[in-house]
Structure 1
Amino acid sequence: MTATTDSAVYAARRDKLRQRLLESGHQALLVSHAANRFYLSGFELHDPQCNETAGYLCVAANGRDALFTDARYRDAALRLWPAKDLCIYGAGRYASIVDFLKDRGVSHLAFEPSSLSYDTHARLAEHIGLTPMHQAVEPLRLCKDADEIARLRCSAAVNHAVMDRLPEVLVPGRTEAQAAWEIEKLFRELGASELAFSSIVAVDANAALPHAIPGQTVITDGCLVLVDVGGRRDAYCSDQTRTVWVGGNPPDRFRQLLDRVRRAQAAALAGLRPGLSFREAYGLAREVFVRAGVAERFTHSLGHGIGLETHEGPSLNPSSEGTLAPGMVVTVEPGLYYPEWGGARWEHMALITEDGCQTL
């Protein structure tokens, strides 16, 4: 995937990372995490699969940044990157990378320990010294710039449009898997380039599984359905959840369940603001459940950051360190789960503003 973002934006992002390298005493960082690579260069948001890479970006303290990839991506890379700073490696991948870097004054590399495989590390270490640099790029991605926020708004708008059409998707006689397929088609028809993650459509007791996989359970006239879906538009993700009753006259336990979840979400959205700790954000929703005596049924975080990835920093959970800041975009998705009969979650994306938050 390529991006329409101006090359100057990517260069400015690399300059911010370069400053971090200088402050920490590193010569260069080898960027192996796909979303970080894309954020800094516009090159290939996705790797082909978990055991195959589209390439590596090296951001150097001396300003001589380099992009490494194989022949499949040569033309795509040249649309974004100067030929003099591009290394097309072949069978001798690791030696080629190191030789290219040493010619540019880099004799030691920092690397991303959460994304560089053990095998790749071992092979590179035969040729150059390596030092882990934890969370090197991710802090730069926490607060979105104006262009990123605009893209996230567009992505969220597609998701809202999909949710508006749930009544025509969740019809009796259709299986969870069939409904998920209809939802995927809607995302594409409404402007998404792909799903942001595999859709969750869960009927009755299956809705008690926060990451349920759509199967052959049939939607009936008189059932609970949880739908958690997202799409990608202009490279940025959306993520929303709704829980609905199919048919008339939902039972009191469903009404009460959904009311508690939505009150918890409303409390969180009313309280999110700059300076609030991630833990405190989680506590805004949990306190609603504590007062209702159901807090033990709230089994996950309040939400997570969203952008180039569906799940990125920050995490709004009771053990997370840090505070909210303007420009962060987070999901707010409290839920309650009862394995015997079902669960409910209600989710929106929220932009942290100068004095509160705004639902996207």
Structure 2
Amino acid sequence: MNDALDTAVYAARRDRLRERLAAAGHEALLVSHAANRFYLSGFELHDPQCNETAGYLCVAANGRDALFTDARYRDAALRLWPARDLCIYGAGRFASIADFLKDRGIARLGFEPTALSFDTHAKLAEHIDLFPVPQAVEPLRLIKDADEIARMRRSAVVNHAVMARLPEVLVPGRTEAQAAWEIEKLFRELGASELAFSSIVGVDANAALPHAIPGETVIRDECLVLVDVGGRRDDYCSDQTRTVWVGNNPPERFVTLLDRVKRAQTAVLDRLRPGLSFREAYGLAREVFVREGVAERFTHSLGHGIGLETHEGPSLNPTSEGVLEPGMVVTVEPGLYYPEWGGARWEHMALITADGCETL
């Protein structure tokens, strides 16, 4: 991992959020979503697991922000956060949080409704007045700054290097699961700190499962393999998909399938630009498939935003609201799927520029 961002960068991000809170008349927001917490503070990108938390960040309209965590993270927190603004809670977690905030003049606390569990909300609400503040931080994360873009470029470079070595990974006799393990090792050897998500490796009919779990299906000579993988470098994710034929004699149906998918992706990349709506971007790919009479085989969105998380805003789907803006990074991954024999997807990450897009 590269050096952490200067604490001033995180402070500036909190100031932007603070402006949004003040404009809405909110006293404070409790940030519980791990990626949002990290984006605003640099503290712990991951929670230990889905039923545990590394802590909470409170961004206050009065400027008295606070970080809450337990004793396991004390030293890590103090590397980023002044002791006067740090609350180390114990068994009485929720009473400690409420008391700490009330001492700072905060009586009502907003929360992220998609990130705070029902149980946590109920326990905290016993001690302080809570109200939902949806989508407070996520709009700030849509536009990547220059440092974020540089990190994402480096992350994409690792992914391209992994994809370049697929011929030595996808060898007859190796199972999907074994290929996925070789891919994971490559990511780490090439500079990733971890996978961005569990690798997808699907052989033949398994490739028709968009989120196929690598299993014991064996790669054979003359077979189709879909690989969708990503890594994390310098905190930021990559995500790419390739579909290949192992062997020298791909059947016509595979050649046609892959050609359609690639042409759909090209149709999108050629026209991605600021001002294009999310649903229009999706429509560019679908138009290609409609002309070919296979649109019913395109069963998912065109793509998604990517950054600190593999899947973040915006979503490029037929019902999504909003338009592309410079600094957004999205995936473009049209696919076609035939459960009887296989599927194909081809994916690039695209940075929206001032007048178009750049493939990362």
Name the structure 1 match of 2:349.
349
- Deviations along 1:142-197, whole A, 9 cap, x unmatched? 00000000000000000000000000000000000000000000000000000000
Name the structure 2 match of 1:13.
13
Question: 3-state SS of the aligned residue for 1:218?
Answer: coil
1:41-52 mapped onto 2 (5 Å cutoff)? 41-52=41-52
Q: CA deviation at 1:249?
A: 1.3
1:181-260 mapped onto 2 (5 Å cutoff)? 181-260=181-260
Q: CA deviation at 1:3?
A: 6.3
Give the Cα separation in 2 of the matches to 1:18 and 1:323. 24
Question: 3-state SS of the aligned residue for 1:255?
Answer: helix
Name the structure 2 match of 1:338.
338
Give the Cα separation in 2 of the matches to 1:3 and 1:316. 33
With the length of structure 2 as denominator, give the TM-score of the two structures. 0.99
Give the Cα separation in 2 of the matches to 1:311 and 1:67. 26
One-letter code aligned to 1:232: R
One-letter code aligned to 2:338: Y
Q: Which runs of 4+ in 1 moved over 3 A?
A: none
Give the Cα separation in 1 of the matches to 2:36 and 2:112. 10
1:1-360 mapped onto 2 (5 Å cutoff)? 4-360=4-360
Give the Cα separation in 2 of the matches to 1:50 and 1:168. 35
Q: CA deviation at 1:136?
A: 0.5
Instruction: Check the 8 A contact 1:301/1:315 in 2, yes or no.
Output: yes
- Deviations along 1:116-136, whole A, 9 cap, x unmatched? 000110011111110100000
Give the Cα separation in 1 of the matches to 2:284 and 2:357. 14
One-letter code aligned to 2:102: K
- Deviations along 1:75-102, whole A, 9 cap, x unmatched? 0000000000000000100000010001
Q: CA deviation at 1:269?
A: 0.3
Give the Cα separation in 2 of the matches to 1:245 and 1:83. 57
Paired-residue identity, %? 86
Instruction: Check the 8 A contact 1:207/1:344 in 2, yes or no.
Output: yes
Give the number of aligned pairs. Answer: 360
Give the Cα separation in 1 of the matches to 2:55 and 2:199. 28
- Deviations along 1:36-78, whole A, 9 cap, x unmatched? 0000000000000000000000000000000000000000000
Instruction: Decide whether aligned partners of structure 1 residues 247 and 302 sit closer, same or farther in structure 2, where only a CA change above 3 A counts.
Output: same
Give the Cα separation in 2 of the matches to 1:295 and 1:73. 50
Give the Cα separation in 2 of the matches to 1:253 and 1:117. 47
One-letter code aligned to 1:318: P
Give the Cα separation in 2 of the matches to 1:298 and 1:238. 23
Give the Cα separation in 1 of the matches to 2:309 and 2:8. 22
Give the Cα separation in 2 of the matches to 1:127 and 1:76. 27
With the length of structure 1 as denominator, give the TM-score of the two structures. 0.99
Instruction: Check the 8 A contact 2:2/2:234 in 1, yes or no.
Output: no
Give the Cα separation in 1 of the matches to 2:93 and 2:153. 40
RMSD (Å) for aligned C-alpha atoms:
0.8
Q: CA deviation at 1:2?
A: 9.9
Question: 3-state SS of the aligned residue for 2:270?
Answer: helix
Give the Cα separation in 2 of the matches to 1:2 and 1:303. 28
Give ranges in structure 1 of 5+ residues lacking alignment.
none
